[in-house]
Amino acid sequence: AQTVTQSQPEMSVQEAETVTLSCTYDTSENNYYLFWYKQPPSRQMILVIRQEAYKQQNATENRFSVNFQKAAKSFSLKISDSQLGDTAMYFCAFLYPQGGSEKLVFGKGTKLTVNP
């Protein structure tokens, strides 16, 4: 079974600085998708970024980028120029299409606080 590990339960960063959230996963498969979702205090789950495992290029979305290390099974999220609105829980998630499963497998999350 696929597992997702987020080793940092909580992190904090000063506004305008850069922070990196870690995620590792365990799979023996070759083709899969990885996601970062953001959950602000409102508790809505918001997609931040998606990465296909077959793509070597790291995905980016504005201030958000990933460092995808397939061999190391690592998928970290970098937030540049942190803003107060980035304060949220961040969940890493895994989807394994070739196994026939449509379910997202989530990590336990990292609580990020951006300080003014």
Partner 1 sequence: EPEVTQTPSHQVTQMGQEVILRCVPISNHLYFYWYRQILGQKVEFLVSFYNNEISEKSEIFDDQFSVERPDGSNFTLKIRSTKLEDSAMYFCASSESRFGTQYFGPGTRLLVL
Residues in contact with partner 1 by CB under 8 A are 33, 35, 37, 42-47, 50, 91, 93, 95, 97, 101-109
Instruction: Report the nearest approach of partner 1 to the CB of residue 38 (Å).
Output: 11
Exposed, middle or buried by CB within 10 Å (0-12, 13-18, 19+), for 37?
buried
Nearer to partner 1, 36 or 82 (CB): 36
Which C-beta is closer to partner 1: that of 50 or that of 78? 50
Q: State how far the Cα of 30 lies from the Cα of 2, in Å rounded to an integer.
A: 12
- Unique residue bearing structure tokens 């290390």: 69
Nearer to partner 1 by Cβ, of 11 and 105: the residue is: 105
Q: How far apart are CA 18 and CA 82, in angstroms?
A: 6
| Shortest distance in whole angstroms from residue 43 CB to partner 1 | 6
For residue 50, the minimal CB distance to partner 1 (Å) is 6
Least Å distance between CB 65 and partner 1?
17
89 Rama class: left (phi>0) / alpha (psi -120 to 50) / beta = beta
Closer of 1 and 71 to partner 1 (Cβ):
1
**C-alpha closest to that of 20 among 110, 85, 116, 115:** 110
Token duo for residue 90: 């961040």
